[in-house]
Structure 1
Amino acid sequence: MRKDLDIDALRERLRARLAELEAGHEARTEASRTVDLDQARTGRLTRMDALQQQAMAQESNRRAQLEKQRIRGALQRIESGDYGYCVRCQEPIGAGRLEADPSATLCIECASDTD
């Protein structure tokens, strides 16, 4: 376990963010439901706008799911004692990087290599 990190504070940030994502799940799900394309009731531009809104909501939902996976993984690494180490090279991830993104899995060098 890393001594240079405030693991408890990072754990709480991760849990708080996970709770935020869970709380917004219903709204994102509702917004991504199938769009009613009844041409007699709505105009073409309104339907196009509704489809665009639906696509944006679906993408938002997908991103939220990915973020929840990353957060759950970080919480598991905290519990196992592996938190704060790069999953590729096993070197410590910079404290500043973890402060910016507590769910980071790669050190800056390995993250740069993947781009």
Structure 2
Amino acid sequence: MRDDLVLDEFEKLLEERLATIQSEREAQRKEGAPVELDQTKVGRLSRMDAMQQQAMAQATANRAELETQRIRTALSRLRSGDYGYCVKCEEEIAEGRLRVDPATLICIDCARTAEKK
């Protein structure tokens, strides 16, 4: 367990972000409703616009789900004492990197290596 980090602070950041994502997802559920295909009720351009908005809402929901998984993983690692250590090389992740993205699982060196591939 890392002694140099204030783990309660990171837990609070992660919990707040998770709550924000969940409230945003609730608001977006309405946008993901099926598109009405009845030509007499909705014009062609309106229907295409609605379909595009629906696709964008679905993509946003997918990104939110991935972010939720990352946050839950980070919270699990925090509670198990593994938080702040890279999952690839097991070295400490810099505090500054954790402040930018508290859900990150890899150190900057491993992230750079992964980008080169």
In the alignment, structure 1 residue 19 sits paired with structure 2 residue 48? no
Question: 1:98 & 1:33 partners in 2: Cα distance?
Answer: 36
Question: 1:37 & 1:27 partners in 2: Cα distance?
Answer: 23
How many residues are paired up? 115
In the alignment, structure 1 residue 63 sits paired with structure 2 residue 63? yes
Find the counterpart in structure 1 of residue 46 from structure 2: 46
Displacement after TM superposition at 1:37 (Å): 1.4
Find the counterpart in structure 1 of residue 91 from structure 2: 91
SS in 2 for 1:24: helix
In the alignment, structure 1 residue 2 sits paired with structure 2 residue 20? no
Q: Percent identity?
A: 52
Find the counterpart in structure 1 of residue 30 from structure 2: 30
Q: Which moved further from structure 2: 48-57 or 36-45?
A: 36-45
Find the counterpart in structure 2 of residue 107 from structure 1: 107
Question: 2:40 & 2:113 partners in 1: Cα distance?
Answer: 53
Q: Deviations over 1:31-51 (max 9, x none)?
A: 112111111122111111101
Question: 2:113 & 2:32 partners in 1: Cα distance?
Answer: 35
- Segments of 5+ residues of structure 1 without an aligned counterpart are none
- Segments of 5+ residues of structure 2 without an aligned counterpart are none
TM superposition score normalised by structure 2? 0.94
Displacement after TM superposition at 1:25 (Å): 2.0
RMSD across aligned C-alpha pairs, in angstroms?
Answer: 0.9
Question: 1:114 & 1:55 partners in 2: Cα distance?
Answer: 29
The residue type equivalent to 1:66 in the other structure is L
The residue type equivalent to 1:78 in the other structure is L
TM superposition score normalised by structure 1? 0.95
